[in-house]
Amino acid sequence: MSENFYQKRVRGRRWIELGQEQQRAYVMRLLDALEVTDRDKRLKVARAILYLAQGVFDECDMDADVIHWSRHNVFLLYDMGIFTALLELLSMEIDNNQACSSAVRKPAISLADSTELRVLLSIMYLMVETIRLQTEDDRPEWRAAREAFKTELGSPLYNGEPFALLLFTMVTKFCSMNAPHFPMKKVLLLLWKTILFTMGGFEELQEMKVRGRERLSLPPLPEDSIKVVRSMRAASPPASAMELIEQQQQAKRGRRSRRPLVKQDSLDTYNERDPFKNDDARDEEEDGEEADSGIEGEVDPLDRDVIIQPPPPPPPLRPPTERASLPKGLPWAPKVREKDIEHFLETSRNKFIGFTLGNDTETLVGLPRPIHESVKTLKQVRRRETTLIILLLSFLPLLSIPPSLSLHQDRIALLKLLLAAAPTSKAKTDSINILADVLPEEMPITVLQSMKLGIDVNRHKEIIVKAISALLLLLLKHLKLNHIYQFEIVSQHLVFANCIPLILKFFNQNIMSYISAKNSICVLDFPHCVVHEMPELTAESLEAGDSNQFCWRNLFSCINLLRILNKLTKWKHSRTMMLVVFKSAPILKRALKVKQAMMQLYVLKLLKIQTKYLGRQWRKSNMKTMSAIYQKVRHRLNDDWAYGNDIDARPWDFQAEECALRESIEKFNSRRYDKNQNGEFAPVDNCLQSVLGQRVELPEDFHYSYEMWLEREVFSQPIQWEGLLQQAQ
């Protein structure tokens, strides 16, 4: 054990009693011991470092003490250069061809095949995550260390490439079956947290937009999307006809009925409700829609928990001033595209003057005054969006985005892992084994051991889905903010790798059961398991699980996957038609059963973009869903999403649209980054000093006729200074 090794090295003294210099001296001895050639001794030293990073739990009596000492020790380890030493050991393990070939030949891989890697990745994860998180009581030297570590991780300091790229290499190597013993769960978690630390999360992205607008003296954004979504309340989706029949049958059999089925709560009364009422069991007792049963006819797991639990105490009264300050109306400000303005003017010109002017959005001659005001309003909204795009292109660096093979392999590798971890996936002989770092060497022999292993396997898969979904979404958002073509090339790779049907397959399950899954054992959570006495585990306690109604890990994953699907299909006609072809509407509608506002918002967005293609009968029979879309999703001026009369409701050619997008990206790359550039598209150097400082190759006879050339081309030619000034203006 790592704590036993520590006790031997410090001769029985407690770590929390050592002074700062004594602690630093001990860490220095550990750092020297990491360089030994004996693999077993090196592993013992690494375990001792892991024990320090975990907060010397053997000397702590409370969970808070473990967290305190873990934070203290992590900053100490970073200051002493432990992370750099661990990175060298990690590179050695990645390049260990003997271990890779041995793992490939083994029929079954277990935890024992990745012991060294798991110890190293655990220490590095603890260091990245602990240093990333800020607290109010951080010391000044800790704040400086955080910024230095952030810069270090994002710089190409590790063999000429950033640390995240090394982790991507591990993912690709694992999915290509060249290193099946790599512990993918730990690699993916570390990769996600590294990108989150170096590039920033969603709040940092929002701050970048705000700072950029202030720098260019632009008006502030109409709303903060993060705050708007957080302030939304979940709506109760309408019950299907089959569910209503089942509920009536249950009522006839004398079962408890939560609410009568005569009247359903209208989603249009969203703004008339008390906004301070929590969306908990009280709301579920008051909402008329909550007579829904599960997807397959059973009682919803969430409803079952609500029935069992007693109602919570009433909320404290709040001053009426806060209630009056809440905004009324729709939550989002409307937006408009240039294409919408062109279509509006084209229709107006055909109606009033009998001809069109193509893409001209400036000429308003012959149109009535109300049309002038409408165009002015549309342009004001459009100008706000255009200035934001110009802003992003002006203050963010432009990076080269060639459709490289490695980029494509990384995305495919992540999707392979996502497919293997999806609950709806069936085991295949040719699929990758993501359970290498969870299966023990000896399989369980008792019922209790089998139940515990089953929970571990399910939890393992859930964590992998969480890490991949968060990683993909974070990359897409940062790439779109940095340059639109970076976002487009990565999105196209995901689409070509069947990301859209993969996500739909993920949601084609009993989503309520997945959201309320209880694949965790609270008494085994760290640091509780090492500080408190372990109770006896029984089959009944494992089956009961924890007391949480939701599994927030799974809810987080579902929201991320919905947001990825939104980003892939937004403004892409052919990809939207893929949602229709794959019959995503009933799958997405079932996801509305989850009463969580953010998840419902992104489901409704996906339904909105395809309503015009689903037919009038679908819209007629799903008016509650249409009302929810109107209530919660941002509107586009002149958007005819609810009636199917949009000009985009046309036959689609998936291959032609994707090829046109790829051609635009390749032209951009060639124009900006190709060394053999066409002179027509070569950038113009407008700097006088730069132009005069360039060396120009001149013919040999030019030196002999130089004075004659000056006389003929310069001195004897009259210069029209007035014309030059006018052109400059």
CA separation, residue 319 to residues 322, 323, 324, 325, 327 (Å): 6, 7, 9, 11, 16
* 329-355 burial code (b ≥16 CB/10 A, e <16): eebbeebbbeebbbebbbebbeeeeee
Give the whole-angstrom CA distance, residue 454 versus residue 380: 57
653/521: higher pLDDT: 521
Q: How many CA atoms does the CB half-sphere of 112 hold within 13 Å? A: 7
Over residues 391-420, mean pLDDT = 58
- The sign one gets for the Cα dihedral 505, 555, 629, 479 is negative
630/398: higher pLDDT: 630
What's the pLDDT score for residue 287? Answer: 36
Place 314 in a pLDDT band, splitting at 50, 70 and 90.
Answer: very low
pLDDT tens across 321-350, in order? 333 333 456 777 777 666 777 777 777 777
* Least confident range of 14-28, 62-76, 228-242: 228-242
User: Do residues 466 and 556 make contact, with C-beta atoms less than 8 angstroms apart?
Assistant: yes
Percent of the chain with pLDDT over 70: 74
What's the pLDDT score for residue 219? Answer: 75
Q: Is 81 a residue whose pLDDT tops 70?
A: yes
What's the pLDDT score for residue 281? Answer: 36
User: Cα Rg for the chain, rounded, in angstroms?
Assistant: 31
Q: Is 246 a residue whose pLDDT tops 60?
A: yes
Q: Is 147 a residue whose pLDDT tops 50?
A: yes
Place 678 in a pLDDT band, splitting at 50, 70 and 90.
Answer: low
Average pLDDT over the chain reads 78
Q: Is 506 a residue whose pLDDT tops 80?
A: yes
Give the DSSP per-residue string, 381-440: HHHHHHHHHHHHHHHS--------HHHHHHHHHHHHHHHHH-TT----TTS--TTTTTS-
pLDDT tens across 462-484, in order? 999 999 999 999 999 998 888 88
pLDDT tens across 486-501, in order? 899 999 999 999 999 9
Place 683 in a pLDDT band, splitting at 50, 70 and 90.
Answer: low
Domain ranges of the chain: 2-199
Separation of CA 281 from chain center: 30
Give the whole-angstrom CA distance, residue 606 versus residue 504: 11
Over residues 350-359, mean pLDDT = 70
Q: What's the first-to-final CA gap in the chain, in angstroms?
A: 78
Return the amino acid letter for 697.
Answer: E
Q: How many CA atoms does the CB half-sphere of 114 hold within 13 Å? A: 28
Over residues 194-220, mean pLDDT = 85
Q: Is 282 a residue whose pLDDT tops 80?
A: no
Place 718 in a pLDDT band, splitting at 50, 70 and 90.
Answer: confident
Q: Which of 396, 488, 487, 401 is closest to 671 using CA atoms?
A: 401
Give the whole-angstrom CA distance, residue 188 versus residue 466: 9
Q: Is 134 a residue whose pLDDT tops 50?
A: yes
Over residues 608-635, mean pLDDT = 90
Residues counted in the chain: 729
What's the pLDDT score for residue 708? Answer: 79
What's the pLDDT score for residue 361? Answer: 67
Q: Is 315 a residue whose pLDDT tops 50?
A: no
91/289: higher pLDDT: 91
662/685: higher pLDDT: 662
Q: Give the relative orientation of helices 369-395 and 338-352 as an angle to the nearest 10 degrees.
A: 160
Q: Is 102 a residue whose pLDDT tops 80?
A: yes
Return the amino acid letter for 623.
Answer: M
Over residues 64-69, mean pLDDT = 93
* Least confident range of 181-195, 535-549, 622-636: 535-549
Q: Which of 540, 606, 613, 555 is closest to 580 using CA atoms?
A: 613
What's the pLDDT score for residue 598? Answer: 93
What's the pLDDT score for residue 153? Answer: 92
Strand partners, 158: 161
Query: Taking the model in full, what pTM does it have?
Result: 0.77
Q: Is 192 a residue whose pLDDT tops 70?
A: yes
User: Do residues 383 and 353 make contact, with C-beta atoms less than 8 angstroms apart?
Assistant: no
User: Do residues 587 and 615 make contact, with C-beta atoms less than 8 angstroms apart?
Assistant: no
What's the pLDDT score for residue 679? Answer: 56
Q: Is 514 a residue whose pLDDT tops 80?
A: yes
Over residues 721-728, mean pLDDT = 66
Q: Is 566 a residue whose pLDDT tops 60?
A: yes
Q: Is 238 a residue whose pLDDT tops 70?
A: no
Q: Which of 566, 226, 221 is closest to 388 using CA atoms?
A: 221
Percent of the chain with pLDDT over 90: 34
457/217: higher pLDDT: 457
Give the whole-angstrom CA distance, residue 521 versus residue 525: 7
Kindly state the tokens that stand for 106: 């083994």
| Total Cβ atoms within 10 A of residue 117 | 23
